[in-house]
Each structure stands twice: as structure tokens, then as C-alpha cells.
């Protein structure tokens, strides 16, 4: 997906604002009802260890700090599970993960998807999807 296509898709729901992420050609954010989306792409491998990746590289959905105490007003669903709608321990249990105290984790069943927990015992704070 190109920058223009990604911004167009998001602009139907929220005000898109350009931002900066190191090592990428473009990035933008948008806020909607307690959620912040960060999308970026055209990632460059400056050290020559990998390859340049044109197009969308990653999307991050993060809960705004003021909305971390309870369930999100907007559902973020993965395989029928509202990731921000229930405490992190319950979500991780339904996903078949038992990783207490881990800040960021990857999901074997969903390559390229990662979850973050801001504080143990709280709700998930972030979902990352990478190409």
C-alpha cells in the first residue's frame, strides 16, 4: 500500500497528521475516540543488512494514555477477540498465551502481530502489525 492509499483509507474516520519515524520515507498519525494510529512505510535499510521495503511497513494502534484504565470505546478485533475490550490477562489467556510481566510479545499464530501491555494487571496498550 502506498502512502496516499493508506492516508486515504484512514482519512474517512480521522484527521490524518504527518509525523516522523527514523529510517522510513513517510509516516502519519490519526486519533479516533481514545485510539491513536501510527502508520509508516518505505522503510530503508541504511546498514545494508536487509533490504529496502517500499510501501506500508507497519501499523501501530495504541490506546491514548487517558483511556488505559478501562476497556476501549472502539473495538480492535483479532480473530473475534476484542484486544482492548478486556484486561490483558484475559485476552492473553483466550489467545493461549501465558506471559506474565512481558512488555511486548509476538504471536506465533499471527506472524507480524505484536501486543504491548503498559502495566501488569492492566489492559493491552498497543497492537502492532508489521509487513
User: 71-97: per-residue pLDDT in tens?
Assistant: 888 899 988 999 999 988 888 888 877
Asked if pLDDT for residue 33 goes beyond 60, the answer is: yes
Whether the Cβ atoms of residue 21 and residue 29 lie closer than 8 Å to each other? no
3-state DSSP percent of the chain in helix, strand and coil, to 5:
15, 40, 45
From residue 40, how far is each of 27, 71, 84 by CA, in Å? 4, 26, 22
User: Under a CB-based contact definition with an 8 Å cutoff, are residues 63 and 74 in contact?
Assistant: no
pTM: 0.82
Say what percent of the chain tops pLDDT 90.
31
Amino acid at each position: 500500500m502506498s502512502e496516499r492509499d493508506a492516508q486515504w483509507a484512514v482519512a474517512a474516520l480521522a484527521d490524518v497528521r504527518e509525523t516522523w519515524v527514523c529510517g522510513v520515507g513517510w509516516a502519519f498519525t490519526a486519533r479516533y475516540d481514545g485510539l491513536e494510529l501510527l502508520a509508516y512505510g518505505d522503510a530503508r535499510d541504511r546498514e545494508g543488512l536487509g533490504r529496502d521495503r517500499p510501501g506500508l511497513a507497519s501499523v501501530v494502534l495504541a490506546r491514548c494514555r487517558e483511556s488505559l484504565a478501562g476497556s476501549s470505546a472502539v473495538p480492535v478485533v483479532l480473530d473475534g477477540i476484542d484486544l482492548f475490550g478486556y484486561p490483558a490477562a484475559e485476552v492473553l489467556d483466550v489467545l493461549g498465551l501465558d506471559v506474565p510481566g512481558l512488555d511486548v510479545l509476538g504471536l506465533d499464530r499471527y506472524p507480524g502481530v505484536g501486543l504491548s501491555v503498559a502495566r501488569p494487571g492492566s489492559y493491552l496498550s498497543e497492537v502492532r502489525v508489521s509487513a
